[in-house]
Amino acid sequence: MKARLKTMLWTVTSVLQMRLNRLLPGHIPIAFKLALVMTLLLVLGMASLGLFISNNQNLQMRAQLHDFGSTMAQQLAKLASEPILSEDSLNLRMLTANLDQDDKVLGAAIYAHNGDLLSAAGIQPGRADTVFDSARVVSRPWYRRAADRPPERLISFIAPATYRDVRVGSAVVTLSASLMDRAATRARDAIVYATLAMTLLASLLAYWLSRRLSLPIHHLMEATRAIDRGDLAIRIDDRRNDEIGLLFEGFNNMAAGLLQKSQVEQVFSRYVSKNVADKVLANLDEVRLSSRPVEATVLFADIVGFTAMSEKLQPSQVSELLNEYFSYISGACSLYGGVVDKFIGDCAMLAFGVLEDDSEHAFNAVSCAVLIQRMAARLNEQRRAAGRPEVHFRIGINCGAMLAGNLGSDERMEYTVVGDAVNLASRFCCIAGPDQIIMGEELYNNLQSRILAQPGQTLPIRGKSAPVKIYSVRDIHRSYRPLLQANLRELLSYQVNRKKQQLVGHA
């Protein structure tokens, strides 16, 4: 019985193998093989890239929604702490009503410490989804269900309202997550369609490229058949200056006999495999964009009245002026462990604590700003003596959470930092006066024991719901000034020596 089953199994296997051999062509062109391999690799690469982009976009959208909700809840809790204590119901209603007017906010509420609702506007979560005992911002997803439409996914952010480190209540801000979900679905569909289109295009391109790559091989194959027929006078006249040309030359040298033909076939077999591998590896090169959140400090230094100054100078003089001062600024930034993010016209953007962890990034940025002003004052003395116009800087500094990394496209990208803290530093620079260094209250509170600053006005900043109090930095504490003076001497002497070397080089 077992022998009979083995015989039947062998018979079926043989029949299937024979039918499969009949279906397969006796000769598969190498152009088709190359096209198939390249297409599969490109499809795999495009699919992997599409999944990576889709997942990364979803993560970024979730992070942005969470950051926005947390910020709004914390801001509402901060503004509502005093009205909760004073039982100012009118002010509480105004806070929730104003916040509810934001298109992104579906609901806002303020609760007392015992969980009693004090004021509410818009959509609110149920009591089971509200937390009143957490010391940090808590997010609670929930669904709003209606009979005439599908459930809508919402997220409520609950932030504690404290007054002098004592919790007095809670603030709740509700956002819609369905918009984010729909945007992610649209982005995913777009990536899928783009991947399919690129796959089709890549297939056509791969077939065309494989035909071009296999054309010399066809020439070689015809010459080999001629050799087998005994036509030892056959030569390949195609002159090339690449590896295939060398192979043709070697084939012509080996056309004297069958032994030489065998050697050519072996070398050619090894050569073709290496060539395909090199092409595949060349097509797998990709640009990867990455970014990471950091806690850093940003400094903007802008030349005051540069437009009016440049009108009186020749273009070469303007370029020389910018190059000179940007060289000084780059040197000052390097002395305090910062990096030059970019130069924007006559403005320099510096970042501290981005590439490496630096617990002193805030103080280093302020010290660098003071050094830049000292440097500009020293250079202005020389410019006044030479009868040239003075150059004054206005500087804005801010620290906080920001995103650092490679941002851009595959064709053009740069390493930079972005975020609300960066934008606020730029705003501080715009409102600063000549020879003035402006910072925010949070940065001043962290460094007030090591810097000398005087409070300024409380100014409304575009994009900020609450006014921002600014401080003007006059100097750093005297215990840190010796290092600052040493850095100033090093910076000025380095630039002087650098100019001398340039003059010698031009001579």
The pLDDT tens digits for 223-240 are 666 666 666 555 556 666
Query: What whole-number distance in Å separates Cα of residue 403 and Cα of residue 198?
Result: 31
For residue 10, what pLDDT is reported?
72
pLDDT single digits (tens) 89-110: 888 888 888 887 777 788 888 8
The SS3 of residue 79 is helix
pLDDT at residue 265 tops 60: no
Q: Which of 23-27, 420-424, 463-467 has the lowest mean pLDDT?
A: 23-27
Higher-pLDDT residue of 61, 346 = 346
pLDDT at residue 167 tops 60: yes
The residues, any chain, with a CB within 8 Å of residue 494's CB and separated by 6 or more, are 331
pLDDT single digits (tens) 436-488: 999 988 899 999 889 999 988 888 777 677 788 999 999 999 999 999 999 99
Cβ(394)–Cβ(306) under 8 Å? no
For residue 241, what pLDDT is reported?
65
Q: How many CB atoms lie within 10 A of CB 132?
A: 18
Query: What whole-number distance in Å separates Cα of residue 77 and Cα of residue 131?
Result: 14
Query: What whole-number distance in Å separates Cα of residue 209 and Cα of residue 219?
Result: 17
Query: What whole-number distance in Å separates Cα of residue 98 and Cα of residue 100?
Result: 5
Whether the model pTM is above 0.95 = no
Cβ(476)–Cβ(366) under 8 Å? yes
Q: How many CA atoms lie within 13 A of 242 on its CB side?
A: 6
| Residue 230 phi, psi dihedral angles, 5° rounding | 95, 5
Q: Which of 3-12, 166-175, 456-465 has the lowest mean pLDDT?
A: 3-12
pLDDT at residue 290 tops 70: no
